[in-house]
């Protein structure tokens, strides 16, 4: 366990020359399997950190480079208050991400990949940070334009969202937008599939899933994301809900 008392943060320095607001408008690109078929337990801040690191990948990168950043930069890009407490929390997030596992199912290859997020995390007392993504993520993050079946979105969108459920639902809706906003994007599945996609507790009934996760996530996305107007639909068999759909009713590029 990381001893936060050893992280003195004696210097609050910016080691990067890029503007923080510019970085928020970097694109995050990931293979659709990472959105729809990955199972993990990252919290909201950890999801944002991962999006930030992914946004540093260039389209022509053939391997993962060491990402050099700082607590100062992370706090500003993720819109967190800069303080020793925040920096210690970020250090704990990075350590947790180094330890947490992720399971990704590849339907094309009929394969399950079990791996961790980072190969290495280095944190200095002066606030410098270096991370490198685990090489097992290469099929899901590198050379995606050549592979197809990937989703892009702006880092600033996930930075805006407070709940991990909102972030995960947002990504599902982006993945479902196959024609770049020319028609209504729809994500549909059984209540159990929605629980898996959003990492909801196994004990949740559909009523609890709807009240505690789906409806609050839809409300937050509709408030924060300008090109989304989400609406939930249900199909019943008798009194049981057997199918759940979330529609993005806002069409950005209508067909005439």
Please name each of the domains of the chain with its CATH number. Answer: 4-153 (1.10.10.10), 162-248 (1.10.10.10)
Phi and psi at 162, nearest 5°, equal: -90, -35
In the block, which residue shows the tokens 């596992």? 101
pLDDT tens digits, 138-163: 999 999 987 778 999 999 999 999 99
Beta bridge partners of 231: 247
Average pLDDT of the residues of the chain: 90
Rounded Cα–Cα distance for residues 156 and 225 (Å): 10
4-18, 19-33, 56-70: the lowest-pLDDT one: 4-18
Q: Which two tokens stand for residue 256?
A: 């005439």
| Residue 212 CA neighbour count, 13 Å, CB half | 13
Q: Which two tokens stand for residue 85?
A: 């407490």
Question: Which pTM does this prediction carry?
Answer: 0.91
Q: Which two tokens stand for residue 180?
A: 């770049």
Beta bridge partners of 27: 154
Does the pLDDT of residue 8 top 90, yes or no?
no
Rounded Cα–Cα distance for residues 138 and 129 (Å): 22
116 or 8, greater pLDDT: 116
């Amino acid at each position: 366990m990381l001893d936060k008392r050893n992280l003195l943060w004696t210097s609050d320095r910016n080691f990067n020359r890029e503007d923080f607001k510019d970085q928020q408008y970097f694109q995050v690109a990931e293979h659709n399997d990472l959105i729809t078929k990955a199972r993990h337990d990252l919290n909201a801040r950890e999801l944002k950190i991962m999006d930030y690191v992914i946004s540093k990948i260039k389209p022509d990168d053939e391997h993962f480079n060491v990402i050099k950043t700082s607590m100062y930069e992370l706090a500003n890009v993720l819109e967190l208050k800069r303080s020793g407490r925040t920096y210690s929390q970020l250090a704990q997030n990075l350590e947790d991400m180094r330890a947490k596992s992720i399971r990704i199912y590849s339907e094309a290859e009929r394969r399950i990949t079990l791996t961790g997020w980072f190969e290495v995390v280095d944190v200095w007392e002066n606030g410098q940070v270096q991370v490198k993504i685990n090489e097992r993520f290469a099929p899901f993050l590198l050379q995606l334009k050549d592979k197809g079946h990937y989703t892009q979105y702006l880092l600033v969108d996930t930075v805006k969202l407070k709940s991990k459920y909102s972030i995960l639902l947002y990504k599902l809706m982006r993945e479902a937008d196959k024609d770049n906003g020319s028609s209504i994007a729809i994500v549909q599945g059984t209540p159990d599939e929605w629980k898996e996609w959003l990492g909801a507790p196994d004990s949740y009934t559909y009523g609890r899933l709807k009240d505690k996760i789906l409806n609050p996530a839809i409300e937050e996305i509709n408030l924060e994301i300008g090109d989304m107007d989400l609406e939930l639909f249900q199909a019943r068999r008798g009194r049981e809900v057997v199918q759940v759909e979330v529609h993005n009713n806002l069409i950005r590029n209508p067909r005439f």
